């Protein structure tokens, strides 16, 4: 039985369904609700989603099966699992250590973002957008009352031109690689600083590669200028042809949205730059996480996920149902599910591949640890498929939750990381009646998603102390939580101008928060996942593999073995090389 406790006394899940919910909760986190929608927006929607689904099957699912298999066979957390399967010390323990360390580092900045979700949930309860909306409305009325007609017409023309030209400009800009953009920016800066710009340009363009880059970028810029000129002519004719009453109404809507977005941005900026406030929320979130993990595998994590996951699913379905009745719903569905090759850069394919890998909590030991709390030897493939399905379903539902609202209320799906903490509050302010409730539901949903993932991250670290050092669960959870919180301090103060790490950005080229995120996401997780794939496919004894899949058809096992040995490692290596800057796929493709 799934809830049977072995003679070792090791904790186990009470039921297979409890394990699936807990593992799905680990996979479903801020990456699904926050990151997946905005990277889908940045990469043009439909085709990116389709490639993402393929990558889930080719990389995510096989490596998840491998992680659960290793943990279930060893009945140990990542560090001890490889030693257990190899009968003693082994170099493969490095993969386990990398998972524990990656989980620890990720949790240290994850709790900061999770704390922001708690902050915004409370802000929503007190209806923080209401005074913002009222202030913006007053300033908009003042603008209309005091601004001359020509200025208002030009303002509306500029806003419409930006909206209508954005997509075309984005498609053209995709033809410029990151390296070309950096080279062109350096060229412009050098020419602008010179007394004789023509001579400076002549000198610099003696470099054939630079000349090729400048010519290419200038050609793209010319197309963008021509595009804007063509759109501007039509927009100007439309705006100058409307009545004064219509002009006032449209300027009022555009100006109000602009002001609300600016003020919402100030609200988030106040939180981001206040290290003590961010740390307070991170502390509260960590305290809650420690309390659940200290409660045990079945009585703590499993019971919490049996409450949190259905609640999370109900909340997201409620938001999707609301979005279905919004005017932007059809546009959102088309954006998410209609492939358009022109909107996707080659690097977007690797972005889909990378996110398919990271969204399932792979490479950090979470699935291995959760798998070690199973006592059965059946249902491995089915369980992994259910976990993957739930994770992917919620990621897609998140898009159908966010994009109908952004399309309906004049926001951009390409808004990037600010989509959640800036664009969505603006949309809730636009909604008016009911916006407060939707805001509470949305940020409460973010909080629940963050908590289910944080539980697994803390469990990975705490389980090491429990298994390897024989600590009690409450001691391990508390100690790990305290250390993680201390490491989280620099991330919490990342945006605070008074932080002691004020020179970090100048020294490393990015803030502390982004530095640890880059370290974990771009190096540790891909390496950990690659090692797990290689170990499961080539090193793990065949009899142990077969014991874990005794109820699985031979053809299915052989198919998995081929993918985990050849396909998954190759694709992870490609992602790793792109992530760490060994090559730029956009640059490579542009040469052919």
Summarised one tens digit per residue, pLDDT across range 505-537 is 777 778 888 888 878 877 888 888 889 999 999
Split at pLDDT 50, 70, 90, the class of 465 is: very high
Lowest mean pLDDT among 247-251, 284-288, 531-535, 582-586: 582-586
Say which DSSP state 338 is in.
Answer: S
- From residue 530, how far is each of 12, 363, 518 by CA, in Å? 28, 8, 17
The mean pLDDT value for 251-279 works out to 89
Buried b (16+ CB within 10 A) or exposed e, 383-397: bbbbbbebbbebbbb
Could you tell me which residue, 364 or 142, shows the higher pLDDT? 142
- The answer, yes or no, to whether residue 120 has pLDDT greater than 70, is yes
Residues 364, 457 contacting (CB under 8 angstroms): yes
pLDDT of residue 520: 81
Q: Please give the Cα distance from 39 to 442 (Å, whole number).
A: 19
CB-based contacts of 256, cutoff 8 Å, min separation 6: 133, 136, 137, 140
Q: Is 357 helix (H, G, I), strand (E, B) or coil?
A: helix
User: Within 13 Å of residue 448, how many CA atoms lie on the same side as its CB?
Assistant: 22
Give the tokens for residue 324.
Answer: 């279905």
- Mean per-residue pLDDT for 364-390? 91
Nearest one of 550, 515, 467 to 10, comparing CA atoms: 467
Count of beta carbons in the 10 Å neighbourhood of residue 544: 15
- Give the integer Cα–Cα distance in Å for 573 and 132: 47
Query: What was the pLDDT predicted at 286?
Result: 97
% of the chain exceeding 70 in pLDDT: 92
Q: Residues of the chain with pLDDT > 90: what percent?
A: 38
pLDDT at 7 over 50: no
Alpha-helix runs per DSSP H in 174-243 = 178-193, 197-204, 208-240
The H helix count followed by the E strand count for the chain is 30, 0
- CB 371, CB 96: distance < 8 Å: no
pLDDT at 8: 44
């Amino acid at each position: 039985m799934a809830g049977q406790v072995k003679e070792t006394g090791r904790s186990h899940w009470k039921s297979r369904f409890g394990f699936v919910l807990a593992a799905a909760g680990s996979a479903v986190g801020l990456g699904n609700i926050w990151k997946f929608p905005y990277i889908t927006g940045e990469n043009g929607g439909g085709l990116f989603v389709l490639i993402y689904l393929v990558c889930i099957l080719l990389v995510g699912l096989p490596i998840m099966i491998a992680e659960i298999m290793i943990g279930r066979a060893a009945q140990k957390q990542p560090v001890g699992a490889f030693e257990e399967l190899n009968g003693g010390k082994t170099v493969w323990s490095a993969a386990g250590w990398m998972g524990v360390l990656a989980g620890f580092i990720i949790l240290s900045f994850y709790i900061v973002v999770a704390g922001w979700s708690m902050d915004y949930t409370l802000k929503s309860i007190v209806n923080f957008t209401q005074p913002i909306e009222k202030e913006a409305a007053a300033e908009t009325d003042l603008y209309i009352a005091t601004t001359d007609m020509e200025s208002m017409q030009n303002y509306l023309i500029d806003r419409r031109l930006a909206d209508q030209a954005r997509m075309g400009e984005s498609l053209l800009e995709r033809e410029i690689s990151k390296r070309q953009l950096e080279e062109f920016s350096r060229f412009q800066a050098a020419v602008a600083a010179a007394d004789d710009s023509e001579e400076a340009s002549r000198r610099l363009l003696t470099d054939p590669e630079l000349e090729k880059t400048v010519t290419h970028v200038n050609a793209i810029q010319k197309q963008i200028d021509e595009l804007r000129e063509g759109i501007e002519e039509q927009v100007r004719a439309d705006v100058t042809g409307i009545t004064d009453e219509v002009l006032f109404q449209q300027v009022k809507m555009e100006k109000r949205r602009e002001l609300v977005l600016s003020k919402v941005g100030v609200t988030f900026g106040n939180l981001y730059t206040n290290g003590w406030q961010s740390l307070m929320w991170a502390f509260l979130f960590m305290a809650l996480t420690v309390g659940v993990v200290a409660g045990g595998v079945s009585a703590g994590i499993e019971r919490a996920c049996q409450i949190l996951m259905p609640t999370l699913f109900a909340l997201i379905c409620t938001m999707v149902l609301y979005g279905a009745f919004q005017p932007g719903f059809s546009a959102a569905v088309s954006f998410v599910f209609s492939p358009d090759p022109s909107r996707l850069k080659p690097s977007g394919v690797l972005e889909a591949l990378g996110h398919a890998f990271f969204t399932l909590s792979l490479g950090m030991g979470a699935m291995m640890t959760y798998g070690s709390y199973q006592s059965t030897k059946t249902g491995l493939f089915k369980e992994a498929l259910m976990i993957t399905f739930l994770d992917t379903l919620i990621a897609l539902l998140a898009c159908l939750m966010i994009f109908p609202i952004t399309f309906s209320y004049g926001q951009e799906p390409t808004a990037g990381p600010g989509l959640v903490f800036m664009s969505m509050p603006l949309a809730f302010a636009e909604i008016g009646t009911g916006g407060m409730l939707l805001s509470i539901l949305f940020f409460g949903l973010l909080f629940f998603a963050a908590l289910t993932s944080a539980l697994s991250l803390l469990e990975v670290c705490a389980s090491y102390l429990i298994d390897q050092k024989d600590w009690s669960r409450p001691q391990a959870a508390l100690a790990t939580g305290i250390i993680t919180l201390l490491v989280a301090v620099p991330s919490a103060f990342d945006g605070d101008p008074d932080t002691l790490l004020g020179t970090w950005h100048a020294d490393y080229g990015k803030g502390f928060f982004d530095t640890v995120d880059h370290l974990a996401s771009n190096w540790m997780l891909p390496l950990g996942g690659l090692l797990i794939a290689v170990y499961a496919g080539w090193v793990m004894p065949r009899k142990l593999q077969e014991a874990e899949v005794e109820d699985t058809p031979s053809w299915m096992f052989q198919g998995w073995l081929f993918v985990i040995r050849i396909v998954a490692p190759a694709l992870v290596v490609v992602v790793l090389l792109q992530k760490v800057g060994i090559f730029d796929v956009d640059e490579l493709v542009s040469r052919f």
